[in-house]
């Protein structure tokens, strides 16, 4: 972990045979981020196309989601910034990540024995993070313009459709990343959801999926 002691896992007071994967603060921020994004995805789709506008009724009506969508967007952006502060050293690309990417086919086949050992996050998780981080930046910038269109200069009226297109494109990228993230967490890597609920994973899980991280936090190789 990085970003200070606030989010640095420790090896004390953990269940037998387990290691601390995520602190309470990390989990709280992650779930706040996920719930905020889920709301943004559903309301965004409702505002984007009539085919999904029925979701607006479920979520309080068109006027309600139009009001809350940008505000929840700011919460979503703030949680990503906080995750970046906590995890910035863990998401740096390493030589192990490059080797992982060269063997990504084995990972897709769930052949973990053929994958190079990884740190706290593997290369795939890091790519997902950066896709969400940069799409968030674009969503915030374009979203603010769309939030206050009345302040756009009249001579720049042609800019707004471009802003809407960029906002939609960034949203689609983030939706794809979100769906893949959920799929990988629940079905491809059992134990990931538990890690993000109670914070712990077994030593075997840590050694299998993130051996370099396991060796770093435990000081052991077995």
pLDDT truncated to tens, each residue of the chain (222 aa)? 334 434 444 445 678 889 999 999 999 999 999 999 999 999 999 999 999 999 999 999 999 999 999 999 999 999 999 999 999 999 999 998 999 888 888 777 777 777 889 999 999 999 999 999 999 999 999 999 999 988 877 777 788 999 999 999 999 999 999 999 999 899 888 889 999 999 999 999 999 889 999 999 988 766
Q: What span, in angstroms and rounded, lies between the C-alpha atoms of 81 and 93?
A: 19
Q: What span, in angstroms and rounded, lies between the C-alpha atoms of 161 and 105?
A: 39
What's the confidence (pLDDT) of residue 154? Answer: 74
Q: What span, in angstroms and rounded, lies between the C-alpha atoms of 217 and 211?
A: 10
What's the confidence (pLDDT) of residue 219? Answer: 82
What's the confidence (pLDDT) of residue 3? Answer: 41
What's the confidence (pLDDT) of residue 60? Answer: 94
User: What is the 3-state secondary structure of the chain?
Assistant: CCCCHHHCCCCCCCCCCEEECCCHHHHHHHHHHHHHHHHHHHHHHHHHCHHHCHHHHHCCCHHHHHHHHHHHHHHHHHHHHHHHHHHCCCCCCCHHHHHHHHCHHHHHCCCHHHCCCCCCCCHHHHHHHHHHHHHHHHHHHHHHHHHCHHHCCHHHCCHHHHHHHHHHHHHHHHHHHHHHHHHHHHHHCCCHHHHHHCCEEEHHHHHHHCHHHHHHHHCCCC
Sign of the dihedral defined by the CA atoms of residues 211, 215, 218, 222, in that order: positive
The pair of structure tokens assigned to 204 is 């075997």
Domains and CATH numbers, the chain: 19-218 (1.20.950.20)
What's the confidence (pLDDT) of residue 105? Answer: 82
What's the confidence (pLDDT) of residue 222? Answer: 60
The pair of structure tokens assigned to 98 is 């490059």
Measured in residues, the chain has a length of 222
The pair of structure tokens assigned to 149 is 């269109």
Q: Quick one: 29 exposed, middle or buried, by C-beta within 10 A (0-12, 13-18, 19+)? A: buried
24, 44, 130 from 168: Cα distances, Å: 33, 9, 18
What's the confidence (pLDDT) of residue 40? Answer: 97
């Amino acid at each position: 972990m990085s970003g200070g002691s606030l989010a640095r896992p420790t090896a004390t007071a953990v269940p037998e045979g387990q290691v601390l994967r995520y602190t309470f603060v990390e989990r709280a921020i992650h779930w706040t981020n996920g719930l905020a994004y889920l709301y943004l995805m559903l309301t965004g789709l409702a505002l984007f196309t009539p085919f999904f506008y029925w979701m607006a009724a479920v979520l309080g009506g068109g006027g309600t989601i139009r009001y809350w969508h940008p505000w929840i967007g700011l919460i979503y952006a703030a949680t990503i910034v906080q995750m970046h502060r906590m995890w910035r050293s863990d998401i740096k690309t390493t030589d192990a990540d490059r080797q992982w990417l060269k063997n990504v086919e084995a990972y897709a086949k769930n052949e973990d024995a053929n994958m190079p050992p990884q740190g706290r996050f593997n290369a795939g998780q890091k790519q997902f993070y950066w896709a969400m981080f940069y799409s968030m930046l674009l969503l915030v910038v374009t979203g603010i313009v769309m939030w206050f269109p009345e302040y756009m200069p009249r001579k720049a009226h042609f800019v707004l459709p471009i802003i809407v297109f960029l906002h939609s494109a960034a949203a689609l990228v983030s939706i794809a990343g979100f769906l893949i993230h959920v799929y990988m967490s629940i079905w491809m890597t059992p134990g990931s959801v538990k890690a993000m609920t109670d914070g712990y994973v077994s030593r075997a899980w840590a050694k299998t999926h993130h051996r370099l991280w396991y060796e770093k936090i435990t000081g052991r190789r077995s």
